[in-house]
Amino acid sequence: MRFSPCVIFVLLAGIFAAMSVAADDSHYSEKEPSRDGTGKVYMGREISQVVSQHAIGWLERRDREGEEKPSLVIEQLELKADDVVADIGAGSGYFSFLIAPSVPEGKVVSVDIQQEMLDFIESKKKLKKVANIETHLGTIEDTRLPENTVDLAIMVDAYHEFSHPKEMAQSLVKGLKPGGRIVFLEYRGEDPSVSIKPLHKMTVKQVTLEMEAVGLEFVEVRDFLPIQHFLVFRKPNPKS
Ligand SMILES: C[S@@+](CC[C@H](N)C(=O)[O-])C[C@H]1O[C@@H](n2cnc3c(N)ncnc32)[C@H](O)[C@@H]1O
């Protein structure tokens, strides 16, 4: 079989395109999975397994206020009434429902990759008659939030289980308004007294490394919570 130069050019272009897509995954490596881990490594950190929808009862547990003090978190978020807040990896929406009353003229966008989590949030919205929460299905690589629309993105015990943290962080940067903030609540990885599985904890150093890699600015760590860090980053605002 003989190919014309034009067909050969198209075939080669296709091969090079496929190679460049594969190379895009080069910031990840593989290892033998540890207990509760995926074996996928990003910037020296093994990514944990995803918490399934069967954990809704645990996410909604009554003693969460006593253990993690979420009401203190809401105060520290310093929200404005018209803010648009994206709760990324919202799960059952535990934090979305705590945040919603603080943004009566704005909204909370609850983003998750599991439709079952979003269905749970929709039924809770009806039950509690909450109008300013929107559910939003993301993908493992992309929040699919419109560009420059979010004032604050919050991730509670979620980022460490994102299978594509780099792509997720890049898509978060796109979704944030210039000067918009990202707040992480992660179990303190440096603290051996926090009895959470190691892959579900993160250190300040590691989160900062990963966020600076996508161009976010470190703002501060506020350690007022019993077992988690409250870490703040900002999308640079070229006008300020
Ligand atoms: C441990 S749960 C935490 C839920 C909630 N933030 C809370 O504290 O109650 C983590 C959630 O992140 C979600 N998740 C995992 N990867 C995700 C991704 N790439 N984008 C959005 N959500 C994701 C999971 O489906 C799960 O619901």
Question: What digits encode the pLDDT tens for the residues 177-205?
Answer: 999 999 999 999 999 999 999 999 999 99
Q: Is the CB of 89 under 6 A from ligand 1?
A: yes
Model pLDDT, residue 59: 95
Residues in the chain: 240
User: pTM to 2 decimals?
Assistant: 0.90
Q: From the CA of 75, how far away is ligand 1's center (Å)?
A: 22
Model pLDDT, residue 125: 98
Instruction: Give the residue among 160, 35, 146, 24 at the shortest CA–CA distance from 89.
Output: 160
Model pLDDT, residue 16: 43
The pLDDT confidence band at residue 26, using thresholds 50, 70 and 90, is confident
Stretch (H or E) spanning 151: strand 150-156
Distances (CA, A) of 93 to 23, 56, 130, 205: 36, 9, 12, 28
Q: Quick one: CATH architecture of 52-234? A: 3-Layer(aba) Sandwich (3.40)
Q: Is the CB of 199 under 6 A from ligand 1?
A: no
Q: From the CA of 89, how far away is ligand 1's center (Å)?
A: 3
Across the chain, mean pLDDT equals 92
Q: From the CA of 237, how far away is ligand 1's center (Å)?
A: 28
